[in-house]
Structure formats: C-alpha cells, structure tokens
Amino acid sequence: MDIPPLAGKVAVLSLGALPLSYALNHVSALSYPLGVVWMSALILGLLFLAIYSLSRSDIYYDPLYAVFAVFSFTSVVDLLIALQEDGYMGSFMAFYTKEGEPYLRTAHGVFICYWDGIVHYLLYLAMAGAIRKRKRYRNLGLYWLGSFVMSILVFLPGNILGKYNSEIRPSFFLTIPYLLVPCWAGLRVFNQTQAPSCCTPNMVEEEQRKGLLQRPVDLALIIYLIFAAFFTFFRGLVVLDCPMDACFVYIYQYEPYLRDPVAYPKVQMLVNMFYVLPFYGLAIYALIFPGCSWLPDWTLVFAGAIGQAQFSHMGASMHLRTPFTYRVPEDAWASFFMCNLLYALGPHLLAYRCLWSPAFFLRPLPGPPAHHEKQY
C-alpha cells in the first residue's frame, strides 16, 4: 500500500490552533459554558469557510477533504488538551476543559486526546494529501473509520453513564456531528474503488485449494483469534459482575481499572463483547473457507478500532489521574501489558496478512476462455 504525501496546506491551517487557543484562553467571555459553545461553533464555521475558499477544487473532487481538514484542526486542539492535562504545557485549553468538556480531564479523556492528536492527525494529513494528488486512500480511510467510531462508541456513553454525567455542559451537543460524519464518511470510503488485484485466476485457484495445514500463518491467526475471543468474552463477564472466582481475582488483582466509576472501561469491554467478539468468529470462518472477500476491508476497520481502544485502555489503567485503587498493581504490570499488547497487535497482523496475500479471500475469477477447434 502506497503512503500518500501529507497535505501541507491542511497542516498549516491546523497549526493555527496553537495561537488561537492561547488567545482564547485569556478571553473572559469563555468562562461560561454557553460562551464556549458559541465560540467553538463560530471557529469551526470560519475554518470551514477558509478551507472552502482555499481548496474549492479539492472539495468538489471529494467532499471528505473538508472533513479531514476541519478534523485535523480539532486533532491539534486535542493534543494541546492532553499535553496540558499532563503538565507539559499550560495556558492553552484550560477554559475548554473547565467550561466545555470537563470529562476530558479523566485518564481516558487524556489518552483519546493523545490518539486523536497523533494517529488521527497523521491520517487526516495523509488522506487529505491523497485527495490533492487524486490518489486512493481507501485503506487509510477504513482504518480511520474503525478508530473514530470506536472512540465515539465508548466516550459518549461513558460520559452519560459515568460519574461525570452531572458535569455535561452544552458543549456536549457539539459532538452530534461526530455521530453523523462517520456514517456518511464510511459510506463514501467503502464505495471507493479498490486497488486492482495482482492475483491471476490461477493464483487464486491454487491458493484456495490449499488446506489449513498448508497455510501455517492462517492457522496461527486462527489460534490467536480463539484466545482473543475467549479473553474478550471473559472481560465482558468481569464488568457484568460475574460471580465466578476467576472474575473476582482478575478484577481485583490484574485490572482493577474495570471497576472505575468513570464507566469508560466497562463500556469498552461491553462494546468489545458485542461487536469485536462476533467479528472474531466471522474472521475464523473466513480464514477456513475461501472466497470471503469482505474480510480484508473489515480487518482494517477492526484493526483501527482495537488499536484505539487498547491504547486508551492501557494508558488510562496506569495513568496518575486514575485513582490509585483502580490502577494496575505493580506486580501485575508484566502480565497486564503483555496480554493487552498482544490483544492490540493481533488484528493488525491479521489486516497485514489480508493485504499482503489476498488471493485466498478473493472470489474465484473467470479463467481465460477455452479455445476449441471448429468441427467441419
């Protein structure tokens, strides 16, 4: 997969968040929740107008260019919030975390800001650069889509169900577009044409004729997916207060963060159990039976989703903003880190395998027509 060049124009506009946030932090009108809402909406509107005037042809070619440009700006804002909350800088976004979205000061909020400010930011620049160069960005878009949707599925319900539900401010309703954009963007990304396959009909037929024992990589991935599915189901039972002794030992000695009243870890485990677990079952099926052409696309979506989820979960489990009683015990760090790291890496290896050698998952292609001698 070719990595498209980063969009320099979008990067310059997004870096305007630094002086702007510093200036807004000293505006007294932003010490009120409604002031934060109106100012945020005004800034996003003016930003969209600036992008439209500077890159009209790119937006006509692909409207997602405007989405990626605006979101790259918010990604820089999120990175400033994370750095500020960890004490690396000050006087930038204090007004927003105080009067806008105070739940961003939680450990989970800090780490989703880091992910958005680094991973999503680079993806936005790469996808905007691909649009400018009229290149494909389907694979990057699918990875971003999974990551973005997972962060929303956990963060928004966690805000409502957790202990910070009493601190929901009017700025919370600015997240409504974040619920609509993935639906529209996801349809556009999925509808993009796929890169032409280099697999010939003979290659596809030969690969799909192989048994599972002749495909050791697929066999290893199936074994991994079985263990990952068990781990997903087990942690779902843990947050549902399963009375088994194993669940009790796990939640108190290995991952006490699952008991944190902020509700993000509980929502995360339930999302994994109801969405990721069925995907693991379908992926096992697709690795056994050939011709499941849907698997390469969905492995990218779930790789992005699980990567974002595990980064936020692992970071928040050990962050100083998490109360000491809910942090991972020091004697369990090695096992906790190893299990969760493997849980995050596995879907990425699966996605790489599907992109590296997709012949097994392609539908059988029609071969060259047979030539028959004319009968006289």
Q: State the pLDDT at residue 3.
A: 58
Helix axes of 64-85 and 8-15: crossing angle, nearest 10 degrees: 40
CA 216 to chain centre: 29
Q: State the pLDDT at residue 122.
A: 95
Cα 203 from Cα 215, distance rounded (Å): 15
Indicate the residue type of 300. L
Collapsed DSSP state (helix, strand, coil) of residue 284: helix
Cα 70 from Cα 93, distance rounded (Å): 18
pLDDT by 10-residue block (mean), the chain, 376 residues: 66 87 74 78 88 88 92 93 89 80 91 96 94 91 95 92 81 77 86 78 83 92 97 96 93 94 95 97 95 93 97 95 93 94 96 90 63 42
Cβ count within 10 A of residue 288: 14
Q: State the pLDDT at residue 262.
A: 92
Q: Which helix (H) or strand (E) holds 42?
A: helix 33-54
Q: State the pLDDT at residue 369.
A: 46
